[in-house]
Amino acid sequence: MAPDTAKSEITTKREALRGRDILCFSHDWTGDPLSKTHLMRVLAKDNRILWVNAIANRMPTASAKDASRIFRKLKSFTEPIREVEPNIFVLNPFAIPAYGSPAIVAWNERTLLRQIKKAISKLEMKDVVNMVFNPAAGMIAGKLDESELIYYCVDEYTAFTGSEALKDIEEKLFRDADLVVVSAEKLYEDKKKFNANTHIIRHGTDWRHFRTAVDGEVKIPADVANLPRPIIGFHGLLADWVDYELIKKTAEHFSQGSVVLVGKIAVDAEEKVKILNGVPNVHFLGRKPYAELPAYCVAFDVAINPFVINDLTLAANPLKVREYLAAGLPVVSTDIPEVRVLADCLVGESHEDFIAKIETALERPRPRSDVSDAIRNESWEAKVEELRRLVESTVKRNK
């Protein structure tokens, strides 16, 4: 092979996110699979990934759940880097979750740089792409000798409870990044002012996984098999952005049926969830393994995305909605802009309209296979190809 040809092939691989070492700052690997998890699993087929577990975005509360999480974090800090899946290595960093104090931010920066550089050296990573999903990593982004810096922003992070102090760190990250990717139109409109090279890639879905709910490959779990119908279902984190008043109204309207909530209750929602105490047909099933979610989708007659409307949710692109659709379910959501691009998602513009849309979905459901087929091409593999094209054009532009 001629030297010029070989060089050309190497350049093509580098520009297309193949044969690279990728640094990924995200949530904890052991958490529920989110967009970041799916993207990295696809990228790991052609690259090595150093996944850095969550650097906290907010100060912990005095709750027992936060205290338990702190203990787990401190314990995990002593664990070595481990390969959790082929080509995906996980590091547990240590940092103090406080961003209002310049002294603490400076200490975190020094400590994190030392930890991350040590891990990069241990894995003999070279020519690193730094792909940041967690804005707290903006403290050290650009200081790790990375070849490219990508900020992949999937939420209005500073709208999360307790995360307001991250604003300056995140804005600097937007400006410093070679490429900014956002997952929703509102994020694009709000963030493009920081960086001209900002682009939108909407979420994909693990279509094959949720398609099993249509193809008869899974059975309804025992804890929902005998519940009164219709079963109105939700899976995901029960956080403070969920409209619990709407869930209560829905349960009361469909008093002969069941409202099933699959997911853990977040610390910031513990008080709000109490409004559902004593509602007899609301069933809290707790967090379930990702592998089991299609089976719960089989049980649902309709799936809901009952978000409150605020700055956080208006910029959200709820992954669960695409998962419901991949499972062939009728879906009803509150009026989040990103669900309006999905033809098979009904949108309730008020509490009353939301409940009316559930009635419509139950009365006139489309064949589940048709609903699932309509979202088949929205795969994570397709989203990674979009990302590769953006990275390639960014590298060419910067040459």
pLDDT for 132 beyond 90: yes
- Domains: count for the chain: 2
CB atoms within 10 A of CB 173: 25
pLDDT for 284 beyond 50: yes
Predicted confidence at residue 61, as pLDDT, reads 46
Summarised one tens digit per residue, pLDDT across range 304-345 is 999 999 999 999 999 999 999 999 999 999 999 999 999 999
Q: For residue 45, what are its two tokens?
A: 């087929």
pLDDT for 4 beyond 60: no
Cα distance between residue 90 and residue 368, in whole Å: 38
Backbone phi and psi for residue 115, each to the nearest 5 degrees, phi listed first: -65, -45
Distance spanning both ends of the chain, measured CA to CA:
25
* Boundaries of domain holding 136: 3-204+379-398
CB 90 within 8 A of CB 107: no
Any idea what DSSP says for residue 229?
S
pLDDT for 220 beyond 70: yes
Of 74, 156, 14, the residue nearest 66 (C-alpha): 74
Shared domain for 335 and 388, answered yes or no, is no
Of 230, 239, 247, the residue nearest 329 (C-alpha): 230
**By percentage, how much of the chain surpasses pLDDT 70?**
87
Q: The CATH number of the domain where 152 resides is what?
A: 3.40.50.2000
pLDDT for 11 beyond 60: no
Shared domain for 93 and 45, answered yes or no, is yes
Summarised one tens digit per residue, pLDDT across range 28-72 is 999 889 999 999 999 999 999 999 999 875 454 444 444 454 445
pTM greater than 0.85: yes
Shared domain for 114 and 96, answered yes or no, is yes
H or E segment at 5? helix 3-15
Shared domain for 142 and 271, answered yes or no, is no
- Contacts of residue 222, defined as CB under 8 A and 6 or more positions apart, other chains included, come to none
Shared domain for 217 and 142, answered yes or no, is no
Of 132, 12, 4, the residue nearest 392 (C-alpha): 12
Shared domain for 62 and 190, answered yes or no, is yes
Summarised one tens digit per residue, pLDDT across range 225-275 is 999 999 999 999 999 999 999 999 999 999 999 999 999 999 999 999 999
Shared domain for 138 and 101, answered yes or no, is yes
Give residue 397's pLDDT band: very low, low, confident or very high (50, 70, 90): low
Cα distance between residue 182 and residue 199, in whole Å: 6
Predicted confidence at residue 12, as pLDDT, reads 44
Of 257, 319, 323, the residue nearest 294 (C-alpha): 323
CB 354 within 8 A of CB 348: yes
Chain mean position to CA 321: 12
Shared domain for 182 and 59, answered yes or no, is yes
Alpha helices by DSSP H, listed for 163-243, are 167-176, 185-191, 207-211, 222-225
Cα distance between residue 323 and residue 199, in whole Å: 23
Shared domain for 218 and 183, answered yes or no, is no
Identify the residue with better confidence: 68 or 134: 134
Count each helix (H run) and each strand (E run) in the chain, helices first.
16, 14
Q: What angle do CA 15, 35, 204 make, to 5 degrees?
A: 80
CB atoms within 10 A of CB 194: 17
Summarised one tens digit per residue, pLDDT across range 152-210 is 999 998 887 666 678 899 999 999 999 999 999 999 999 999 999 999 999 999 999 99
Predicted confidence at residue 66, as pLDDT, reads 42
DSSP for 101-141, written as a single string:
-HHHHHHHHHHHHHHHHHHHHHTT--SEEEEE-SGGGGGTT
Shared domain for 7 and 106, answered yes or no, is yes
Strand 231-235 with 282-286, pairing: unpaired
Of 347, 346, 234, 242, the residue nearest 301 (C-alpha): 234
Q: Where are the beta strands (DSSP E) in 287-329?
A: 302-305
Predicted confidence at residue 46, as pLDDT, reads 96
Average pLDDT, rounded, for the chain: 90
pLDDT for 101 beyond 80: no
Cα distance between residue 232 and residue 258, in whole Å: 6
Shared domain for 140 and 245, answered yes or no, is no
Summarised one tens digit per residue, pLDDT across range 254-267 is 999 999 999 999 99
Give residue 296's pLDDT band: very low, low, confident or very high (50, 70, 90): very high
Predicted confidence at residue 219, as pLDDT, reads 94
Predicted confidence at residue 104, as pLDDT, reads 85
Shared domain for 67 and 200, answered yes or no, is yes
Predicted confidence at residue 102, as pLDDT, reads 82
Cα distance between residue 352 and residue 358, in whole Å: 10
Cα distance between residue 318 and residue 331, in whole Å: 12
Q: What is the mean pLDDT of residues 81-93?
A: 96
